[in-house]
Amino acid sequence: MLLDGRYEIIAERPLGAEQTLFEATAADGTAVRIIWYTLVGSQAEAAFERYRQVLRALRREDAVALHDVVARPGATYVVWQTPPPNQRSHPSAAINQVLEAFNYRPEEADIRLAADGKLRVYGLAFAGTLPESPPAAATPPSPRRQGLAPWLLALVPGVLLALLGIVLLGVGLALQERGTVILPRVAGQEVNGVLNTLYQLGLQAQAEPIPSGQALGTVVGIDPPEGSQIRPGRTVLVRYAVPYGQLVSGEVPDLRGQQLEGGEVARLLLQQRLSLGEIARIPANVEAGTVLGQQPAAGSQAPQGSRVDLLVSSGPSRTSTFLPDLRGLSREDALFLARVAGITGTIEVEEVPVPRQPFGTVVEQNLEPGVLVAADSVTLRLTVVGGGNPAAFGDTVPNFVGLPRRDAEALAAQNALAVTVSEVENLNLPQGVVLQDPSVGEAVSGTVRLIVNVPPQPLPQPKVTVEVRRPTPRRAAFAWPIEAGIPEQEAVVIATTVTGDTAAVYRGTVRGGQRVEGEWLTFAPGPITFTLTLNGEPYSVPLRVNP
């Protein structure tokens, strides 16, 4: 089921006669809590407008975990981000100052620590009701004698609990046929029986021990709460009691820098009664298998059995590159281009005597041009014209590649070689000789075949005529409906052009139920952005038009 066509409802719970809490998922997959308000009369609408003002003030301070606020005829609701679990409300002097400016008490706000380490409001009372009250601290009972381990005492469910589980299971299975399950009343029951009932209802269950004065293994509460209507397959958090003084949480060890496969990670987690969670791997300039990060953070408190997710190195990333054709270049130019191409591995140079070739010219390379190679581990070998006795090599082919056709034919005549030429037309190849047979340094029998690239004939340039048109004025229209219940306020509309120029195009007074609308005549090109403010505060979203 979709709420307002935008949010998929997962669970629903009434908070009062005029408020309903929905557990939902936004279009981007974010888990949210929606408080739907049924407002009756102008007084309630005015109160909600004051409520929106304090939310706006908190948002300007980046102090509210707010996803959206909607107030229009037939739909008045606030969309909150889901608060972090296992936290009590935190005090904040800065947030309290904003709340007091709007006559709100600090205890009317659910203030928690966000994932980025900043305190934010995850719920604010409207008409005396919070979206979900922060968990209250239980009063520790008098010291008691240590009992047996929870997992031993929890193995003895009573017959009464088994019968109750059968009844709850029958109700849940009947609802399951309609695609949803209503969570039964489980507070005060034994944890293993509750877990079994939830599993038979097609739900996932996770048990969490918390200190309490109730009997060991007694269910204190569940999340989502009892009576919530949810889909099969969802996970229900079951909180059960353990005596005060028993270890129910441990300090998360620092696993950064440890080797995942070395056994030390498993030992440190087992020592704190924690388990290994999901593992994500990314390239990093450290040894593969090294722990780079963790969640929860080192030093934080986590309940026994909690999972610790790890970010692990997959080793240094291997870079690849394409090597250009270095043949015919000087030794220095070839080495420079190889490094520019990203070759960080070994480069070896072998000098050989080649007749009729300039000293220091590259005549061969072991890596083919244009082939993808590993830049950090490949070995490049260059064959360069060097010392020796050229006469000992007999008659070999000189290097024609890169020469214009006329120069290549002259070089062939100097070496008493006959030439056969084939021409190609290719925009991606350089002009002149691009290939020869036989190759450089090979024995020759008197004839060499050359492939010469002849650039294509240039296309005729078209004649371009330019017509300069005089600018004509454009009419850019704007309109905003003003929500009911808003008292009379000063409205100002600012127009911003694509070049950043601004102009006030409307001033007047307006109240709820009316419209702010008009047209702006302009010569400015491109889209125009209109912004509406009421009493100096931005109202609604900017309008972007392109007349």
CATH code, domain with 69? 3.30.200.20
Contacts of residue 102, defined as CB under 8 A and 6 or more positions apart, other chains included, come to 50, 53, 54, 57
Q: Is residue 501 part of a domain?
A: yes
pTM higher than 0.85 = no
**Is 465 among the domain residues?**
no
- Evaluate whether 92 touches 504 at the Cβ level (below 8 Å): no
Same domain for 115 and 6 = yes
308 and 338 in a common domain: no
In this predicted structure, what is the pLDDT of residue 181? Answer: 85
The whole-number pLDDT of residue 455 equals: 75
Residues 201, 186 within the same domain: yes
Distance CA 68, CA 57 (A): 14
Range of the domain at 297: 249-313
In contact, 348 and 380? CB cutoff 8 Å: yes
pLDDT given at position 88: 60
Do residue 237 and residue 297 come from a single domain? no
> Is residue 425 assigned to a domain?
yes
Residue 264 in any domain: the answer is: yes
Tell me: do 309 and 326 sit in the same domain: no
Domain end residue (candidates: 209, 242, 275): 242
Q: 351 in a domain, yes or no?
A: yes
Q: Flag whether 129 is in a domain.
A: no
* Per-residue model confidence (pLDDT) at position 136: 37
Identify whether residues 255 and 236 lie together within a single domain: no
Predicted local confidence at residue 255, as pLDDT: 93
Q: Identify the pLDDT of residue 127.
A: 61
Report, as ranges of residue numbers, the positions in the chain whose pLDDT lies below 70.
1, 16-17, 85-89, 127-179, 244-249, 317-318, 387-396, 441, 443, 445, 457-462, 464-466, 468-469
Q: What is the pLDDT of residues 241-297, one digit of tens each?
A: 887 655 556 789 999 999 988 889 988 988 887 888 889 888 777 888 999 989 888
239: Cβ contacts below 8 Å, ≥ 6 apart: 207, 208, 209, 210, 219, 220, 221, 222, 223
Asked whether residue 487 falls in the same domain as residue 532, the answer is yes
Q: What is the pLDDT of residue 440?
A: 74
Question: Which CATH number characterizes residue 506's domain?
Answer: 2.60.40.10
Boundary (domain end) residue, out of 293, 313, 333: 313
Phi, psi of 189 (to 5 degrees): -90, 170
pLDDT value for 162 = 46
Write down the pLDDT at residue 516.
93
Gyration radius (Cα) of the chain, Å = 39
Q: What is the pLDDT of residues 241-256, one digit of tens each?
A: 887 655 556 789 999 9
State how many domains the chain has: 5
Judge if 13 and 29 occupy the same domain: yes
Q: Are residues 91 and 167 in the same domain?
A: no
Q: Which of 281, 313, 345 corresponds to the end of one domain?
A: 313
Q: What 3-state DSSP class applies to 291?
A: strand
Answer yes or no: do 306 and 385 share one domain: no
Q: Is residue 277 located within the same domain as residue 374?
A: no
Strand order in the sheet with 502-510: 502-510, 489-496, 528-534, 537-545
CA gap 475, 518 in Å, rounded: 10
Letter for the amino acid at 138? A
pLDDT score recorded for residue 480? 92
Indicate whether 304 and 359 sit together in one domain: no
Whether 130 maps to a domain, the answer reads: no
Which CATH number belongs to the domain containing residue 200 in this structure?
Answer: 3.30.10.20
Domain for residue 36, yes or no? yes
